[in-house]
Chain A
Amino acid sequence: MAVPTISTPSTPRFSPVAKVSMGFVAVAVACFVFADISITTLDPWSEMKRMAWGAVTPDFSVVTGLGMVVVRTIAFALSGVALGALGGFLLSQVFHLGPVRWACASVRAIHELFWALIFLQMLGLSPLTGVLAIAIPYAGICAKVYAETLEEAELPALRVLPKGTGMVSAFFFARLPEVWVHLKTYTAYRFECGLRSATVLGFVGLPTLGFHLETAFSEGNYSEAAALLIIFYVLIASLRFWMRPKLVGFYVLGAPFLLGGGAAIDMANITRFLTVDIVPAPLRRGEFLDGQTWSNLGDWTWTLLMDQALPGMIATLLLTQIALVATGILALVLFPLISRKFFGPVGRSVGHGFLVVMRSTPEFILAYIFLQLWGPSMLPAIVALSIHNGAIIGHLVGRFSDEVRLRPDSPRGLNLYGFEIVPRVYGQFLAFLFYRWEVIMRETAILGILGIATLGFFIDSALADIRLDRAMFLIAVTAVFNMGIDILSRRIRSRLRLSTQAGRA
């Protein structure tokens, strides 16, 4: 048996992968100089102590009807994901069409919280607001993943079908069953994401766990907040016990009836939103054929771009780049916790538990908590983003590292980490990281709602002023910006020949 050699770059001095990594680190360091990073609270420790005390004294009694809140959260996730998966599945069948691909890319470039804010304008606090806010972006994501899965599947049965077999029959017999397991696994993962999304939607007023979490945190009732978070973790951790394949049908059927009542939907509101509210103010007020109207529109657009979109984009980019590198570093530090190469079963299960809690907590909620602790600056956002995403990537890299084969006399400890494992998992790690890039940016934008001056801040301000035209314009800018990052990330991945497949988890 050949002894595996350690793959270290020899000539040229730095491999393309190393150069790209160093480039990203350099950019992040430069961003750090310009970023607003500080702890503004005078005494963060006392608040932290109160939070820690809350965490060990959870109080489940405070929220009345807690059971119903949990049921609603699940119902929103189920309805949204079911509708999104169904829509995504149908779209995946026509995904080869350019316009469909673009439409999917643009709906998934807009975060579900922004979707919720849009639908709140049209539908108000109707359950449909929450369901659509999840379903629409998820349909865009599912369409892409389903289409790729279908495309890459090996389909031996397709060649033996009798002549004259219809397309529909061929699809359901020879194509779908081959990818069914993949689709099922991915959709189950989406459901977990859906639970997070449904929870976060509570922060803008939907009757899910997040609604009460926001109240509890903002009022400093940390025991109550701890109770709600514990319920959330239990919900995620126990997924595989109650989310049985045989029961999915009943759940999906029941979910629409458990969303709770809400305001009736009025078509007039929807029409008004689409035909009046989001039309830029100069167009709405001026004569269509008047030259003045168009010059006003020019001014309107220019002012919005320079005063809000541009600063928002700069802040979003700064924060994204710092958070991306911080995520990467954290992931490299965390992955040994669950790797067989480094820890025994006891250590690993502790590591697993730790990573599950870290990655299950939505970034939005983490950022919210750190903001309470440290006051508004980019610091809470960076920490929140890197904890959540670092734990996700750490988990994936850790699992991947288990597959590395070592020679019997391989080194141990830090040497093993530095010379044997990291060089081998690094490519995969970068693939995961670049795949999260777009996700991190989407989250960064949304954290603006909490007061950090990213694009979301300006969108939230426009909404607070009931200037929906500006809000929609800024949301569109955010979407385009996000799609740009997506394209860039794909370019880098293909240039470095990093497997895009694996990054999808």
Chain B
Amino acid sequence: MLRGISLTVSAGERVALVGESGAGKSTLLSVLQSRYDGNTALIPQDLGLVRNLSVFHNVYMGSLHRHSAAYNLMNLVWPRPAEVARIRPIVERLGLADKLFERVGRLSGGQQQRTAICRALLQGGDAVLGDEPVSATDNHQSRIILDALSETFETVILAMHDVDLALEFSTRIIGIKGGGIALDAPAGDLSRADLDFLFRD
């Protein structure tokens, strides 16, 4: 899928991986994830949600590593007020406040996507790796999400299909085409037209 790629991302960068679907963005993301040994939060394309659990529980899963198993189980059975208080603002910010105890399986695609993002936000860490995390949200929400991610994580690497949004949000654009890196430049130096070739045959 990918060939001859060498890529270094430094701390503090906000990277957007841009390209057609099937160009190799997801593969590159998973390679990055396996090579990176710090604390990363993940937002995979399938979102990694447990459909039978509530939004609260799915978000809480981002903090499983911080607590003892007993405390985690207690929260599974009976959410502690302290944890609800910690999670509620995150969920509120992404517009899911009224869905906190709704089963994720009953939410829309966009709501599920935001749940996965909340989980990453709660988890925190040095970096976040996201595969099209804003594909199902409108522009306004996308900005809120991208802002939240940038605030929480020092390094952000996202695969994106919306070129305008990528230019606006990121500090560096990596264009993928045919399994290789076709473009790697600071976002400030690029315009929309410079990226068009990525989507042409």
Chain A residues packing against B (C-beta within 8 Å): 156-166, 168-170, 172-174, 177-178, 180-181
State whether A160 and B119 are in contact (beta carbons under 8 Å apart), knowing that A173-B50, A173-B53, A173-B64 are contacts in the complex: yes
Distance in Å: Cβ of A390 to nearest Cβ of chain B: 36
Distance in Å: Cβ of B178 to nearest Cβ of chain A: 27
Binary contact track B101-121/A, C-beta < 8 Å → 1, others 0: 000000000000000100100
**Complex contact B64–A157 (CB within 8 A):** no
Distance in Å: Cβ of A467 to nearest Cβ of chain B: 50
Distance in Å: Cβ of A219 to nearest Cβ of chain B: 52
Query: Can you give 7 A-B contacts (C-beta < 8 A)?
Result: A159-B44, A160-B41, A160-B43, A160-B44, A160-B116, A161-B65, A162-B125
Question: For the complex, what is the distance from the CA of A451 to the CA of B63, rounded to whole Å?
Answer: 63
**Complex contact A169–B62 (CB within 8 A):** no
**Complex contact B47–A162 (CB within 8 A):** no
Q: Please indicate the chain A residues that have their CB under 8 angstroms from the CB of B125 in the complex.
A: 162
Set A156, A162, A180: member contacting B64, Cβ < 8 A: A162
Question: B147: CB under 8 A from chain A?
Answer: no
**Complex contact A168–B52 (CB within 8 A):** no
Distance in Å: Cβ of A486 to nearest Cβ of chain B: 32
Q: Which residue of B lies closest to A171 (CB)?
A: B69
Distance in Å: Cβ of B62 to nearest Cβ of chain A: 6
Q: Please indicate the chain B residues that have their CB under 8 angstroms from the CB of A164 in the complex.
A: 65
Question: For the complex, what is the distance from the CA of A166 to the CA of B57, rounded to whole Å?
Answer: 16
**Complex contact B42–A157 (CB within 8 A):** no
Q: Please indicate the chain B residues that have their CB under 8 angstroms from the CB of A163 in the complex.
A: 39, 65
Q: Which residue of A lies closest to B52 (CB)?
A: A177
State whether A161 and B46 are in contact (beta carbons under 8 Å apart), knowing that A169-B72, A177-B53 are contacts in the complex: no
Question: For the complex, what is the distance from the CA of A156 to the CA of B115, rounded to whole Å?
Answer: 14
Distance in Å: Cβ of B43 to nearest Cβ of chain A: 8
B54-108 interface with A by 8 A CB criterion: 57-58, 60-65, 67-69, 72-73, 76
Distance in Å: Cβ of A171 to nearest Cβ of chain B: 9
Apart from A162-B39, A164-B65, A173-B57, 9 more pairs, CB < 8 Å: A156-B44, A156-B46, A156-B49, A157-B48, A162-B123, A166-B69, A172-B73, A173-B60, A180-B52
Question: For the complex, what is the distance from the CA of A275 to the CA of B52, rounded to whole Å?
Answer: 49
Nearest 7 CB-CB pairings of A with B:
A160-B48, A164-B65, A168-B69, A162-B65, A169-B72, A165-B64, A177-B52
Of listed B52, B60, B64, B119, residue having the most chain A CB within 10 A: B64
Distance in Å: Cβ of B19 to nearest Cβ of chain A: 23
Question: For the complex, what is the distance from the CA of A180 to the CA of B51, rounded to whole Å?
Answer: 11
**Complex contact B50–A177 (CB within 8 A):** yes
Q: Please indicate the chain B residues that have their CB under 8 angstroms from the CB of A173 in the complex.
A: 50, 53, 57, 60-61, 64, 72, 76
Distance in Å: Cβ of B94 to nearest Cβ of chain A: 17
Question: For the complex, what is the distance from the CA of A187 to the CA of B44, rounded to whole Å?
Answer: 33
Set B41, B51, B69, B73: member contacting A162, Cβ < 8 A: B41
Q: Please indicate the chain A residues that have their CB under 8 angstroms from the CB of B47 in the complex.
A: 156
Q: Please indicate the chain A residues that have their CB under 8 angstroms from the CB of B42 in the complex.
A: 159-160
**Complex contact B48–A159 (CB within 8 A):** yes
Question: For the complex, what is the distance from the CA of A157 to the CA of B60, rounded to whole Å?
Answer: 12
Q: Which residue of A lies closest to B33 (CB)?
A: A159
Question: For the complex, what is the distance from the CA of A168 to the CA of B70, rounded to whole Å?
Answer: 9
Q: Please indicate the chain A residues that have their CB under 8 angstroms from the CB of B51 in the complex.
A: 178
Question: For the complex, what is the distance from the CA of A161 to the CA of B123, rounded to whole Å?
Answer: 9
Question: For the complex, what is the distance from the CA of A325 to the CA of B19, rounded to whole Å?
Answer: 60
Question: For the complex, what is the distance from the CA of A162 to the CA of B41, rounded to whole Å?
Answer: 7
Q: Please indicate the chain B residues that have their CB under 8 angstroms from the CB of A172 in the complex.
A: 72-73, 76
Distance in Å: Cβ of B189 to nearest Cβ of chain A: 34
Q: Which residue of A lies closest to B63 (CB)?
A: A162
Question: For the complex, what is the distance from the CA of A159 to the CA of B120, rounded to whole Å?
Answer: 13
**Complex contact A178–B52 (CB within 8 A):** yes
Q: Please indicate the chain A residues that have their CB under 8 angstroms from the CB of B48 in the complex.
A: 156-160
Q: Which residue of A lies closest to B119 (CB)?
A: A160
Q: Which residue of A lies closest to B51 (CB)?
A: A178
**Complex contact B50–A162 (CB within 8 A):** no
Q: Please indicate the chain B residues that have their CB under 8 angstroms from the CB of A168 in the complex.
A: 69, 72-73
Q: Which residue of A lies closest to B37 (CB)?
A: A163
**Complex contact B69–A169 (CB within 8 A):** yes
**Complex contact A161–B61 (CB within 8 A):** yes
**Complex contact B52–A166 (CB within 8 A):** no
Question: For the complex, what is the distance from the CA of A166 to the CA of B49, rounded to whole Å?
Answer: 18
Distance in Å: Cβ of A89 to nearest Cβ of chain B: 15
Q: Please indicate the chain B residues that have their CB under 8 angstroms from the CB of A174 in the complex.
A: 50, 61
Set A158, A165, A180: member contacting B65, Cβ < 8 A: A165
Question: For the complex, what is the distance from the CA of A27 to the CA of B103, rounded to whole Å?
Answer: 53
Question: For the complex, what is the distance from the CA of A174 to the CA of B58, rounded to whole Å?
Answer: 9
Q: Please indicate the chain A residues that have their CB under 8 angstroms from the CB of B41 in the complex.
A: 160, 162
Q: Which residue of B lies closest to A164 (CB)?
A: B65
Question: For the complex, what is the distance from the CA of A178 to the CA of B104, rounded to whole Å?
Answer: 12
Question: For the complex, what is the distance from the CA of A178 to the CA of B60, rounded to whole Å?
Answer: 16
